[in-house]
A and B are shown apart, each in its own frame.
Chain A
Amino acid sequence: MNLALSLFSMMLIPLVAAGLALIHQGLGRSRSAAHAMLASLCALAVSSIVFVLFGTSWAGSTGAAIHSFAVGGVRWDWLGAAPFFARGLNFDGIDTAGLTRSLVLCLELMAVGVAASIPLSAGADRWRLGPICLSSVFLGGIVFPIFAHWTWGGGWLAQLAVNFGISNFIDVGGAGVVQVVGGLTALSVAWIAGPRRGKYSHDGIPAAIPGHNIVLVLFGCLLALVGWIGLDSAASILFYGAGLQQIVGVVINATLTASAGCLAAVVVTRTRYQKPDASLSSNGWIAGLAAGSASCAMVSAESAIVIGVIAGVLSTYLIEVFELHLRVDDPGGAVSVHALAGIWGLFALGLFGQFPEGTRSGHVLAQAVGICALLGFMLPLIHGGNLLLNRWSTYRVDDDGHWHGMDVRELGAGAYPEFVIHADEFVPR
């Protein structure tokens, strides 16, 4: 196992969070830009600290202590039982097993920060900073560790082959663990916080509230690609024992899925609106990355392109469905881009994956079981937890704060103090 390469790959992962932060603030209003960036830092900071203190115990790792119970003659490994505060780990470099465990902690620490920053997109312009931190505690301490253990830590989803004779659920780069978990949290936040003021008329007709800086959004997409390659590579090495040649495949496939997703969105928006839509195209790029991270190097280059194209088309249409028909105000499209594209990626792995063992139908079934676990168990857990937190500390800013913007309301100053529009700039000379 190439541990040095995995460590190097992990160092790239913060670029995913940086890219997502730029995308979130660019797709929001200018009066909430600084708040969006600070919220990204706070979500990352809080989730990381809570994960190391508590979450890593429950996330566990293959071969470590577990909480389990027996039902139907099967032992269900449902939660890790390592010591709290990462006490079981040492960084003396003496034993290789300890080194692998510490690398797993490092990777999951980076991944939980990415997962925590995804919901900020759905709560843009109205989700208060305090509740953002509370929600990140919940995500980093409970939600993420549970699914990370089930998938990456040798939990019951990773033991479907041994216990039930079908293939194991596979999520190489965290399409489920990171993207879907973050995207479902985004859906929950969008429901709880409600739409932005002025988004819907009394008749329920949505108004367009365009992002304030599309240049930063597109730059964020490029940054996210680099980070995503790091995330996919590190997870492939640590959890699925990928070698150097497979990592080359990871890099190629990540680039292909992102490119295919973006181009599909460009073509769809060009066909529908006569001109390509930059924000939807950026969403297509991220949707391609989210979908592709399930399979990484386990699919061929052609399959990666197909996965990316379908993710890009899906995200473009689903963003519209959520906004127009379901009245979910998600300024960054996190629900479509991360949750639904991630689910598609997990299912696509079953359809297109190249597996050394197991039948195709067994793999499709295993992937379907994992998706059902995300929707049927993780979503109620996430939504129930966020509803309770909302009762304790209201997620949505009041109408006055909404009017002033989150920067002035929560931080006391705007991101662009000299950014004013002078009426005479638009008068013909």
Chain B
Amino acid sequence: MKLVACVLLLSGFFIVLAALVLLTSLGQRFAFVGAGFAVEFLGLILLTQAYRTHRKEHR
């Protein structure tokens, strides 16, 4: 779960980089940077959830 979360974080980052390289319109770039941030946010939630679950199991 932690690994998947880290992969999601990195994926979001690469979406942002791809938006810079592949797109030229400001609106499209905003949309893709927003999408990249959303993927990173999902990764962050997953990572937090992974540690919460880990603590519950070890309590």
Contact = CB atoms under 8 A, between A and B. Distances in A.
A202 B12 contact: no
Given A74-B21, A376-B12, A383-B6, A361 B26 contact: yes
A380 B9 CA distance: 7
A148 to B, nearest CB: 18
Contacts of A164: 20-21
Interface residues of A, number: 32
Interface in A362-382: 362, 365, 368-369, 371-373, 375-377, 379-380
A375 B40 contact: yes
A164 B9 CA distance: 23
A379 B59 contact: no
Contacts of A376: 9-14, 16, 36, 40, 43
Contacts of A195: 55
Nearest to B52: A327
A380 B6 contact: yes
B10 A368 contact: no
What DSSP secondary structure best describes chain B's contact surface?
helix
Nearest to A372: B16
A361 B21 contact: no
A191 interface: yes
A375 B9 contact: yes
Contacts, number: 79
Contact of A372 (B37, B51, B52): B37
A72 to B, nearest CB: 4
Q: Which of A200, A371, A372 has the most CB of B within 10 A?
A: A372
Given A373-B13, A376-B14, A383-B47, 17 more contacts: A72-B22, A165-B24, A166-B29, A326-B52, A328-B51, A368-B30, A368-B33, A369-B16, A372-B16, A372-B36, A372-B37, A376-B9, A376-B10, A377-B13, A379-B9, A380-B10, A384-B6
21 contacts: A71-B21, A164-B21, A166-B26, A200-B55, A200-B59, A326-B52, A328-B48, A362-B26, A365-B33, A368-B33, A369-B16, A369-B33, A372-B12, A372-B33, A372-B36, A375-B12, A375-B41, A376-B10, A380-B10, A383-B6, A384-B6
Interface of A: 71-72, 74, 160, 163-166, 191, 194-195, 200, 202, 204, 326-328, 361-362, 365, 368-369, 371-373, 375-377, 379-380, 383-384
